[in-house]
Amino acid sequence: MELKVLNTAGAETGEVVTLRDDIFGAEVSEHAIWLDVKSILANKRQGTHKSKTRAEVRGGGRKPYRQKGTGNARQGSTRSPLMIGGGTIFGPTPHGYDQKVNRKVKQLARRSAFSAKAQEGRILIVEDFALAEIKTKPVADMLRNLGLDAKKILMLTPDYNMVIARSGRNIEALNIMTAEKASTYDILNSHTVLFQKTALKKLEETLG
């Protein structure tokens, strides 16, 4: 597959890049994508949820009322799960949600995600550019020129560029990261993947 390289004004530069078939033209493995995305979302969970049992709730040492003669059901503690302010029965406890996915499956999932975007025509290549200062307007103008200002965009750069990253972080629909760090979830959670030209080489090195 070949794509034309665009400049920040949205015009063609006359240059064409060839996308590797094993990354952008592979058969989409929905199962690998499902495994990887499921593990990514699970690993984001903190797992610190906790409720107190009757043994952990403060108070409750005194019997609330006498055993007999009140007409009420007998109670031995004000912290019984049956009473207001009491402990919780079978409540949540802290535990990890981490799920491991083999490296080969992760690589297959990323290739499948890029291939799916390529099949949908949602991959664009823009020439490498640099910003002299941290400013949102040049990035917003570029997205507008490319017709991407109203869409959720994943922009991939070859290396971390603090100026570009901070210039784009005020744009809610724009997610900027290096090509090697883009996960399956990041790719699929965007409408369009926007590559800086040399970011393609970085991605090819990462995926082998």
Q: Tell me the three-class secondary structure of 67-92, residue by residue.
A: CCCCCCCCCCCCCCCCCCCCCCCCCC
Instruction: Give the model's pLDDT for residue 200.
Output: 92
**What is the enclosing helix (H) or strand (E) of 6?**
strand 2-6
Amino acid identity for residue 197 in this structure: K
Query: What's the CATH fold of domain 2-46+100-207?
Result: Ribosomal Protein L4; Chain: A; (3.40.1370)
Amino acid identity for residue 18 in this structure: T
pLDDT tens profile 71-101: 999 999 989 999 889 999 999 999 999 999 9
Return the percentage of the chain with pLDDT > 70, whole number.
100
Contact 155, 190 (CB under 8 A): no
Pairing of strands 123-126, 174-178: unpaired
Q: Distance (Å, rounded) from C-alpha 120 to C-alpha 80? A: 58
**What is the enclosing helix (H) or strand (E) of 192?**
strand 192-196
Q: Is 155 in a helix, a strand, or coil?
A: strand
Burial class (CB in 10 A: 0-12, 13-18, 19+), 183: middle
Return the percentage of the chain with pLDDT > 90, whole number.
83
Amino acid identity for residue 202 in this structure: K
pLDDT at 208 over 80: no
Residue ranges covered by each domain of the chain:
2-46+100-207, 51-91
Residues 6+ away with beta carbon under 8 Å from 17: 2, 3, 5, 125, 197, 200
Tally the C-alpha atoms within 13 A of residue 203's C-alpha that lie toward its C-beta: 25
Arithmetic mean of pLDDT, 105-131:
94
Name the DSSP letter for residue 28.
P
Q: What pTM did the predictor assign?
A: 0.82
